[in-house]
Amino acid sequence: MEDMSGPHVIRGSVSLPEAELMWRFSRSSGPGGQHVNTSDSQVELRFDLAATEALPPVWKERALERLAGRLVDGVVTVRASEHRSQWRNREAAAVRLAALLAEASAPPPKPRKPTRIPRGINERRLREKKQRAETKRGRTGRDWG
């Protein structure tokens, strides 16, 4: 895991701007013993995707389109509560948000170029097919009397 102080890189030279991240902390569900009722270890990280200037316009457009179902007023939210410490949950949430944005802003895959089957292979297949048909035709029990 990378340091909390370091910027979370989305892709290339683009990273999450610390100033645009909105953090919210609350009590996490699940185990934690006597410590659980006093610490706000669940982390909710919000990032205003619609208003950000940190992403290149093309990426932003793509991300807004692909994450449309997850956005509330242009804001994407990520929750993390799998660790007992708030610090590690912050880390997990930031990494998750960076991965989500990287995936959503990735360029679409190149279209597949259809390839042709070489003629030799096709001919060989047909030859083998004929051979097999001959073999089977030879098994008919007409002449066996």
Tokens of 78: 């990520």
Give me the pLDDT at residue 77, please.
84
- C-alpha atoms less than 13 angstroms from C-alpha of 26 in its C-beta half-sphere: 7
pLDDT of residue 30: 65
Which is more confidently placed, 35 or 63? 63
In this predicted structure, the answer to whether residue 43 has a pLDDT above a threshold of 90 is: no
Mean confidence (pLDDT) of the chain: 80
- pLDDT, residue 21, reads 80
The pair of three-digit structure tokens given for residue 6, joined into one six-digit string: 């370091």
Does pTM top 0.75 for this prediction? no
Alpha-helical runs (H) found in the chain: 57-66, 86-104, 119-137
Q: Tell me, what's the pLDDT at 143? A: 63
Q: What is the pLDDT of residues 109-140, one digit of tens each?
A: 899 999 998 999 999 999 999 999 999 988 88
At residue 22, the 3 state secondary structure works out as strand
| Residue 31 pLDDT class (50, 70, 90 cuts) | low
Q: Summarize pLDDT for 53-110 with one digit per residue, the tens.
A: 777 778 888 888 888 788 778 788 888 888 878 888 888 888 888 888 888 878 888 9
Q: What is the pLDDT of residue 2?
A: 44
Least confident of 1-5, 28-32, 33-37, 60-64: 1-5
